[in-house]
């Protein structure tokens, strides 16, 4: 098996370690350690990034030390695993703030005169793990998995990160067997570096 450099982004904004998303991130890390992969981890709850409030900030203001270090970790990684709970149909605002801060022009893409922007993070793959109260099938069919599509197409593919694997973890507030199944499935992804 090929060993990879993997960045795990735990996108749950709640520092309470009892949250299921933290348990999934921990199990991914455990699995990846068994698989011999190199890892770095970013915890959004600990970083607590502020949202951008202007285009000038996005394009010209120096990012904070924590954001620069996250950019360095993204630059280092071959594979990026992003875990978050679905909140009001989308990623939590703190995770969105993180992407706003980190994916700055110049770092993640470059404007080009009269053409499409240059994607600067090509060569990396990703895996999105999203948890939710509703059944996964309902989210896929009735809602068209729209927040996943937005993260994949408007954020990750826009900067060149592709292909993107999806794990849609539904019914997390119900049967404990479902959580156990997913903890094992995500640990297995960690072992395989997926
Ligand atoms: C603020 C908030 C908004 C939520 N919105 C949704 C939603 O739109 N759809 C859904 O299926 N579940 C929703 N949920 C349920 C969460 O997705 C679910 O509790 C979470 O994925 C469980 O993971 P955790 O233990 O890591 O928080 C919401 C929960 C909260 C707290």
Taking the C-alpha atoms of residue 131 and residue 93, their distance in angstroms, rounded to an integer, is 15
140 within ligand 1 shell (Cβ under 6 A): no
CA of 106 to the centre of ligand 1 (A): 34
Is 0.95 surpassed by the pTM of this model? yes
Taking the C-alpha atoms of residue 184 and residue 175, their distance in angstroms, rounded to an integer, is 15
131 within ligand 1 shell (Cβ under 6 A): yes
Cβ within 8 Å of residue 145, ≥6 positions away = 139, 166, 168
Q: Which residues are bridge partners to 128 per DSSP?
A: 82, 166
User: What ligand 1 atom has the least distance to the C-alpha of 14?
Assistant: 27
Taking the C-alpha atoms of residue 194 and residue 177, their distance in angstroms, rounded to an integer, is 23
Q: Do 108 and 159 contact (CB within 8 A), yes or no?
A: yes
What ranges in 35-131 are assigned the alpha helix state H? 44-47, 55-60, 65-76, 93-102
Average per-residue pLDDT for the chain:
97
- SS3 (DSSP) at 172: coil
Mean pLDDT for the stretch of residues 57-75: 96
What domains, with CATH codes, occur in the chain?
5-192 (3.40.50.360)
Q: Tell me: pLDDT of 37 over 90.
A: yes
Mean pLDDT for the stretch of residues 10-15: 98
Name the DSSP letter for residue 54.
-
What is the percentage of the chain residues whose pLDDT exceeds 70? 99
pLDDT digits (tens, 9 = 90+) for 139-182: 999 999 999 999 999 999 999 999 999 999 999 998 899 999 99
CA of 119 to the centre of ligand 1 (A): 32
Ligand 1, atom 17, lies closest to the CA of 132
């Amino acid at each position: 098996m090929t060993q990879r450099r993997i960045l795990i982004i735990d996108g749950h904004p709640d520092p309470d370690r009892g949250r299921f998303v933290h348990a999934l991130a921990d199990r991914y890390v455990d699995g990846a350690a068994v698989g011999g992969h190199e890892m770095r981890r970013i915890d959004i709850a600990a970083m607590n990034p502020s949202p951008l409030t202007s285009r000038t900030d996005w394009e010209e203001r120096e990012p904070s030390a924590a954001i620069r270090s996250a950019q360095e970790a993204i630059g280092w990684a071959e594979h990026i695993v992003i875990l978050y709970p679905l909140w009001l149909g989308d990623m939590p605002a703190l995770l969105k703030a993180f992407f706003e801060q980190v994916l700055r022009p110049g770092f993640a893409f470059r404007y080009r005169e009269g053409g499409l922007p240059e994607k600067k993070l090509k060569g990396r793959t990703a895996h999105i793990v999203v948890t939710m109260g509703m059944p996964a099938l309902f989210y896929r069919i009735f809602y068209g998995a729209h927040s996943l599509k937005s993260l994949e197409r408007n954020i990750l593919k826009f900067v060149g990160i592709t292909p993107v694997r999806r794990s849609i973890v539904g019914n997390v507030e119900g049967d404990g067997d479902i959580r156990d199944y997913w903890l094992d499935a995500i640990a297995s992804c960690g072992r395989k570096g997926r």
